[in-house]
Structure 1
Amino acid sequence: MSGAAWASDATSPTPTMWYWHNWTDHDGVSHMTKCPLRDFDLKTMSKPADPQWQDRLKQGPAQIIFTVQPAHWNGSWHPDPKVQWIIPLKGSWYVTAMDGHKVIMGPGEVSLGEDQLSRKDTQGKVGHYAGNVGDDPVELMVVQTDETPTQDKPCRFR
């Protein structure tokens, strides 16, 4: 698409994208909430490339990890090691929060893991329970941040 054609489309509505947020409440219980990303600006990332909608959540250090979970991988109950974005690239996986809410995510869906402040309950659950769906390995991209974990802030990134 040429720059001139895009410029005439600059009046299109600002997009909304969605992510799942695994967050912790003040009692130390984790939850899964579907959250919108809506703070997009239309600009180029690198001239002379055409403008694209961008929502820059934070600038700062990050570590990118690609992982392949073997077929039938089981993550048991555990908190995320850091505040991290998780994007399935191939296959499907699930995350179950301590409140029982289970979300299955496939390629292109996004999850924010922020359950570091969860506390073990009477059944031994802490953080989240994750695993693969189906009989194939699951490929994930994980972006670990230097964010400080929060409590009682579902959908803190918008």
Structure 2
Amino acid sequence: MACAATAAVLALPASGRASDQPVPPTAWYWHNWTDHDGVSHMTKCPFHQYELKTMSKPAGPQWQDRLKEGRAQIISTVQPPHWDGSWHPDPKVQWIIPLSGSWYVTAMDGHKVVMGPGEVSLGEDQLSKKDAQGHVGHFAGNVGDGPVTLMVIQTDETPTVDQPCRFK
């Protein structure tokens, strides 16, 4: 009987699971979106439609979540120490990734998010409307005394309303 049990264990993959399919990861981004009243909000959203495949043979497979194909412009920015973005909407639907330093985004609903290197933000508050205090879009600025370097990927997406986490 011991031999049969040993044979069954040896037949399992090294992980010890009957199914050795890799589990797709989940990564996160902050979405600065606008509701139907023109108020901006910050919502934490998942990237989770990952597929394990190669980008270019003979490179090995890697997890990929392709959100949307289209035209994009890539901009590297360096915000000087104590940079103050004031209240403004994003110029285009854009992905923003801090490379060094930390910065913050405060939405019109008061939700403030601080992001550091490797975190991701999707700016989509172009359809926000001025509130009673004259705020529109979001307020952004640097955290700390140093500069902040960002990678900005502006897309040709049409801004939406009431669609937090629309890239799923």
Counterpart Cα distance in 2 of 1:124 and 1:91: 29
TM-score normalised by the chain length of structure 1? 0.93
TM-score normalised by the chain length of structure 2? 0.88
Counterpart Cα distance in 2 of 1:38 and 1:108: 17
Q: Which position in structure 2 is the counterpart of 1:41?
A: 51
List gaps (5 residues or longer) in structure 2: 1-19
- Give, as a single letter, the amino acid of the residue that structure 1 aligns with 2:25: P
3-state SS, counterpart of residue 128 of structure 2: coil
- Give, as a single letter, the amino acid of the residue that structure 1 aligns with 2:55: M
Show CA shifts across 1:13-58 (max 9, x none). 1110100000000000000000001111110000000000000001
Instruction: Say what the alpha-carbon RMSD is for the aligned residues.
Output: 0.7
Show CA shifts across 1:52-111 (max 9, x none). 000000111000000000000000000000000000000000000000000000000000
Match of 1:115 among 117, 125, 149: 125
Q: Which position in structure 2 is the counterpart of 1:6?
A: none
Moved over 6 A (4+): none
Q: Which position in structure 1 is the counterpart of 2:96?
A: 86
Counterpart Cα distance in 2 of 1:39 and 1:121: 36
Establish whether residue 133 from structure 1 lines up as the match of residue 143 from structure 2: yes
Q: Which position in structure 1 is the counterpart of 2:70?
A: 60
Establish whether residue 106 from structure 1 lines up as the match of residue 116 from structure 2: yes
Establish whether residue 22 from structure 1 lines up as the match of residue 32 from structure 2: yes
3-state SS, counterpart of residue 164 of structure 2: coil
Considering only CA atoms, is the larger Rg found in Structure 1 or Structure 2?
2
List gaps (5 residues or longer) in structure 1: 1-9
Q: Which position in structure 2 is the counterpart of 1:155?
A: 165
- Give, as a single letter, the amino acid of the residue that structure 2 aligns with 1:149: P
Q: Which position in structure 2 is the counterpart of 1:4?
A: none
3-state SS, counterpart of residue 156 of structure 1: coil
The alignment-based identity, stated in percent, is 81
Q: Which position in structure 2 is the counterpart of 1:7?
A: none
